[in-house]
């Protein structure tokens, strides 16, 4: 399944409506990826101006969600789509919900960066999160690419990457908890790192969700709540 298979109807207007929704969802995904990248830059570099811009961008993402949701609702009401068309529209609605929540988490990181930039030690500035932040950003970009090209192989790759991010999250949380016990004075700073870590983990979960929708669209199989074995394609007999 690709963009061409979305626009296969006799009605050119219906084709245009579906194409517009798909293009808008991709634009929203790209905006969210940029927001996440900027949020991490603001956090790691103490860039207050960028942090403020990240928070402001959340309003644009929220507006896009509302507009695309209205477009999808209108398509359902007027076109009464069935089978693959209905699956596509419902997947787009779920995707923008996850994208909006990813934007919320990026905005939360941005606000934290803006508040803490003056007090955070430039030599330590949330350095613990650099690797995890890069991994989550790559997941977001790959999820967008998988959606754009309906690439189920890439979608599975992102799904597996989320398990790695979850393990890194758990290890980092244990490390941070140990640090607080050993140095009580570090508790305020470590708590902030924990909140940012949690936001990144949630962004990774949402990127995984989007890849599950790609699998659903292409193969018609709902892989939510599946383990890795259930998520992998079945071997051909």
Are 68 and 21 in contact, with CB atoms under 8 Å apart? yes
Average pLDDT, the chain: 87
> Which long-range contacts does 35-38 make (Cβ < 8 Å, 24+ apart)?
35/61, 35/103, 35/106, 35/107, 35/110, 36/102, 36/106, 36/136, 36/137, 36/140, 36/203, 37/137, 38/106, 38/110
Segments of the chain assigned E as strands: none
- Mention every residue, 6+ apart, whose C-beta is less than 8 A from residue 138: 161
Banded model confidence at residue 120, pLDDT cuts 50, 70, 90 = low
pLDDT at 13: 82
Look up residue 151 and give its DSSP letter: -
Q: Among 115-124, 186-195, 199-208, where is mean pLDDT lowest?
A: 115-124
Global pTM value: 0.87
Asked whether the predicted pLDDT for residue 203 surpasses 80, the reply is: yes
pLDDT at 45: 86
Please give the average per-residue pLDDT across 107-118, as a whole number: 83
What is the C-alpha end-to-end distance of the chain, expressed in Å?
Answer: 23
Q: What is the pLDDT of residues 123-145, one digit of tens each?
A: 566 778 899 999 999 999 999 99
**DSSP SS3 for 1:** coil
Asked whether the predicted pLDDT for residue 10 surpasses 70, the reply is: no
Ranges 55-59, 66-70, 114-118, 120-124, most confident? 66-70
b/e map 58-71, b = 16+ CB within 10 Å: beebeebbeebbeb
* Structural domains of the chain, ranges and CATH numbers in brackets: 10-227 (1.20.58.220)
**Helical (H) or strand (E) element with 119:** none
């Amino acid at each position: 399944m690709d963009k061409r298979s979305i626009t296969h109807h006799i009605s050119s207007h219906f084709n245009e409506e579906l194409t517009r929704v798909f293009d808008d969802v991709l634009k929203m995904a790209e905006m969210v990826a940029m927001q996440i990248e900027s949020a991490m830059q603001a956090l790691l570099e103490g860039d207050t101006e960028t942090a403020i811009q990240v928070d402001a961008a959340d309003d644009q993402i929220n507006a896009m969600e509302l507009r695309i949701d209205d477009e999808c609702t209108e398509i359902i009401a007027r076109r009464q789509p069935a089978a693959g068309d209905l699956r596509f529209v419902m997947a787009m609605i779920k995707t923008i919900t996850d994208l909006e929540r990813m934007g919320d988490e990026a905005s939360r990181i941005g606000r934290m960066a803006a508040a803490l930039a003056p007090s955070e030690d430039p030599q330590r500035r949330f350095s613990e999160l650099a690797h995890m932040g890069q991994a989550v950003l790559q997941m977001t970009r790959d999820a967008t690419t998988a959606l754009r090209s309906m690439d189920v192989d890439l979608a599975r790759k992102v799904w597996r990457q989320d398990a790695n991010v979850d393990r890194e999250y758990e290890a980092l949380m244990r490390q941070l908890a140990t640090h607080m016990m050993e140095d009580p004075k570090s508790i305020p700073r470590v708590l902030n790192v924990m909140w940012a870590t949690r936001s990144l983990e949630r962004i990774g979960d949402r990127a995984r969700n989007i890849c599950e929708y790609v699998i659903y669209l292409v193969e018609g199989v709902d892989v939510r709540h599946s383990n890795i074995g259930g998520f992998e394609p079945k071997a051909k007999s």
